[in-house]
Amino acid sequence: MKRCLVWLFLCIFLCPSGMAERKKVGLVLSGGGAKGIAHIGVIEVLEKAGIPVDYVVGTSMGSIVGGLYAIGYDIQVLDSMVRNQNWSFLLSDKVYRDNLSFPEKEMTEKYILSFPFGRGKENRMPAGFVSGQNVYHLFSDLTVGYHDSLNFEELPIPFACVAANIIDGKEVVLKQGDLVQAMRASMAIPGVFTPVHLDSLILVDGGIVNNFPVDVAKAMGADIIIGVDVQSDLKKAEQLNSLPGVMGQLIHLLCMNKFEENLKLTDLYIKPDLNEYSAASFNQEAIDTMIYRGKQAAEAQWEQLIALKERIGVEEELTKTREKKVFADTFFVRRIYLKGVSKDEEKWLRRTIRLKENGPITKEEIHRAIASLYGTKSFANVSYRLLGGPEYDLELNLKENDRSIINLGFRFDSEEMAAILLNLKLNYRPLKGFRSGFTARLSKNPFVRLDYSLENPLIRKLNLSYMFKYNDFNIYDRGDKINAVTYRYHLGELSLTDIYLRNFKFQVGLRYEYFDYDPFLFKDDNQTIHVKSEGFISYYAVAEVETFDRRYYPSRGLSFSAAYSVYTDNFTQYNGQLPFSALSANFTGVIPITNRFKMLPSVYGRVLIGKNVPYPYLNYMGGQVFGRYMQQQLPFEGISRVEVFENSLLVARLHLRQRMGSRHYLSFIGNYALQDDNFFDILGNRGIWGGSVGYSYDTALGPIDLIFHMSDWTKKLGFYFNLGFCF
């Protein structure tokens, strides 16, 4: 009896008939930049064929697709995700304008080149063009629930990815730790993305050491390997006739390391036809085609897939539909931690982000908090982790931006000809403390400006400035030149600014201005204006609201500013009498009629209050740009040059803008101006009509504008050309 029981035991547990386990399948996804999107099409066909995936291993873009697939994203969600991304924004460190602090808004879309540098030798230049802030942020969003340090082999599908340690050039297989950091390290293309520091390692894109990591999947336990290769073929000799071609070939040769050995270990090799695409082909048409090409390449091997399925040992009745994981958008957060800042700074930042502990927090609220912190430009990186669960601890990791920066701008137009703007910002304390800046413009009317500021949560921003400007321009009357004005301008300014409201700025200050005039040159000898050199002490207040999504060509938002200044020569009086003052306001809004057609209504003006207002503070109007020659100069379509107007000046303007294609714009602008010495009589006077028709092209160097304009004031057809940002 005992002998029968022993035989029965052996038959049940040791006999292979009907009890054999199927072979384990490893899916290997190569790197290739944008071409890695084709992996999605391949995986869709594998699922359709009923091929199980027991291990996923990837490099670079293969690690991103593979990592997300491993934690539960189904192929339909991955497909939709890559199609709907703003890839140009994602693969940059740009910040949407409405997330910038007000001082940074004033700096945007002004410079064409920026060169950051640090105070220490180790931080003088960045290690890559892109720090990866936006892509890291996306990875964090997509991996909520997997932010804790973990073993990647315990994911729904065991996962590993490959990076390279640039200290010794060795391959690093990442199988545990921070999943987001691992994917980010695997895609850190040298010289493009900054490396990832992990303990004593400095990690970059794993493609340079093992871009087709079949051996890693084998080491994890895979019996059968399905390898997807999205690398381009090596170019032929006649194709290597340019620097980009040669550099691309060199990079591709590096990525061929270990390829032949790994290819021999592959049971099914799938290579989509992607030769006409590059690692940067992230446009919508390319994405659609690459996903299709991946699907097409896998379907072309359908018979091999079915044969491989039998070899794996998959029985049809055992094939299960992969469970779809649902990812939430709202989380209960017990505690919030801010890492990388001092205790005092942490208290201030908690008030800034406005997130509350022991309550629900949405992803959108986390996004706004991160954007408000990163938008100050005080931090090189801001990332988050939701630890634990289902009740989470929110950890915000901040890395102070201790780099200073050099900015360079350029503009060419038909009025001032060429102008170059140079700006140097030195940050002694990135978050709170002293900052200094130097700005110089080289043009027909050059200036230099020095700024020194103290930023502190208690006193906001205290700023001390000095500017010297040389002005040489002509004054016109109804389009005819009447005199030439030349003077040297000195400005000393002490101001206090509230900078901590993202879309609002309020500033009060004390200002000293000195105008050193040369004798005027009149076209007509009978004309005389006696203007003396003198200084003015003024008190001023400025309030601004600005929510435009872009400085040029905004598609939503509004801008409003109002300023009031009181002018004296001895702090209390001017020429022994009451001081005079100036009140100005400017409003522009965007009314979207369609996705391409916008209406931009504007109203702006300036009113002088008091008697005997001196020449430097009269109302000036003309040209295309606010404050081109005089700070108070107002633009007007149809008046080409600067002209003097009466003490009350009001302009209404309507701009109709049609976008053609992605960067071409056609504009029709009409404006109407009223003027009078007494503001309350301004509606009784005959107004000035003017308008323009223009074409603009949005380039990386700034707008290109071609404008034809005319008014009943000058009765002359004018033309204006501009290339570059206004400054």
CATH code, 452: 2.40.160.50
**What was the pLDDT predicted at 17?**
39
How many structural domains compose the chain? 3
- On whether residue 537 sits in a domain, the answer given is yes
Neighbours of 130 (CB within 10 A): 17
- On whether residue 77 sits in a domain, the answer given is yes
pLDDT tens per residue, range 334-345: 999 999 888 878
Residue 161 structure tokens: 């990815």
60 is catalytic: yes
- Tell whether the model's pLDDT for residue 411 goes beyond 80: yes
pLDDT tens per residue, range 468-519: 999 999 999 998 888 889 999 999 999 988 755 678 889 999 999 999 999 8
Tell which wins on pLDDT, 575 or 380: 575
**What was the pLDDT predicted at 721?**
96
Confidence of residue 459 (pLDDT cuts 50, 70, 90): low
**What was the pLDDT predicted at 127?**
53
Residue 216 structure tokens: 């890693």
Provide the pairing of β-strand 25-29 with 224-228: parallel
Task: Give the per-residue SS3 of 333-400.
Answer: EEEEEEECCCHHHHHHHHHHHCCCCCEEEEHHHHHHHHHHHHCCCCEEEEEEEEEECCEEEEEEEEEE
**What was the pLDDT predicted at 117?**
74
What is the domain range of residue 346?
A: 330-400
Tell which wins on pLDDT, 126 or 68: 68
- On whether residue 623 sits in a domain, the answer given is yes
HSE, CB side, 13 Å, CA atoms: give it for residue 396.
25
Nearest in space to 636 (alpha carbons), one of 666, 602, 671: 671
Positive or negative, the CA dihedral 421, 427, 433, 438 is negative
Last residue of a domain, one of 380, 400, 420: 400
- Tell whether the model's pLDDT for residue 652 goes beyond 90: yes
| Cβ pair 150, 174 in contact under 8 A | no
**What was the pLDDT predicted at 6?**
42
Query: Is the domain of 244 the same as that of 364?
Result: no
**What was the pLDDT predicted at 326?**
58
Distance in angstroms (rounded) separating the CA atoms of residues 107 and 405: 12
Confidence of residue 114 (pLDDT cuts 50, 70, 90): confident
Give the containing element (helix H, strand E) for 619. Answer: strand 619-621
Confidence of residue 693 (pLDDT cuts 50, 70, 90): very high
Q: Which of 27-41, 143-157, 250-264, 407-421 has the weakest average pLDDT?
A: 250-264
Indicate which residue of 30, 54, 60, 565 is catalytic. Answer: 60
Query: Is the domain of 357 the same as that of 283?
Result: no
Distance in angstroms (rounded) separating the CA atoms of residues 628 and 639: 14
Last residue of a domain, one of 400, 426, 448: 400
Average pLDDT, the chain: 86
Query: Is the domain of 382 the same as that of 437?
Result: no
What CATH number does residue 369 fall under?
3.10.20.310
Strand partners, 496: 462, 508
- On whether residue 101 sits in a domain, the answer given is no
What CA–CA distances, in Å, run from 636 to 307, 548, 629, 723? 76, 22, 14, 19
Q: Determine the average pLDDT of the residues in 205-222.
A: 92
Query: Is the domain of 610 the same as that of 529?
Result: yes
Distance in angstroms (rounded) separating the CA atoms of residues 619 and 642: 10
- On whether residue 679 sits in a domain, the answer given is yes
205 is catalytic: yes
Query: Is the domain of 396 the same as that of 410?
Result: no
Query: Is the domain of 203 the same as that of 252?
Result: yes
What CA–CA distances, in Å, run from 490 to 195, 283, 310, 397, 484? 46, 50, 85, 44, 20
- Tell whether the model's pLDDT for residue 256 goes beyond 80: no
pLDDT tens per residue, range 670-691: 999 999 999 988 988 889 999 9
Last residue of a domain, one of 400, 433, 457: 400
Q: Determine the average pLDDT of the residues in 577-581.
A: 95
Query: Is the domain of 654 the same as that of 705?
Result: yes
Query: Is the domain of 444 the same as that of 484?
Result: yes
Query: Is the domain of 443 the same as that of 392?
Result: no
- Percent of the chain past pLDDT 70, that is, above it, reads 87
Query: Is the domain of 444 the same as that of 409?
Result: yes
What CATH number does residue 301 fall under?
3.40.1090.10
- On whether residue 460 sits in a domain, the answer given is yes
Query: Is the domain of 376 the same as that of 489?
Result: no
Residue 192 structure tokens: 């493009």
- Tell whether the model's pLDDT for residue 556 goes beyond 60: yes
**What was the pLDDT predicted at 500?**
53
Q: Is the peptide bond before 244 cis (omega within 30 degrees of 0)?
A: no
HSE, CB side, 13 Å, CA atoms: give it for residue 574.
19
- On whether residue 435 sits in a domain, the answer given is yes
Q: Which of 124-133, 203-212, 421-430, 620-629 has the weakest average pLDDT?
A: 124-133
Nearest in space to 374 (alpha carbons), one of 675, 685, 575, 134: 134
Query: Is the domain of 519 the same as that of 660?
Result: yes
Indicate which residue of 54, 79, 178, 205 is catalytic. Answer: 205
- On whether residue 141 sits in a domain, the answer given is no
- Tell whether the model's pLDDT for residue 310 goes beyond 70: yes
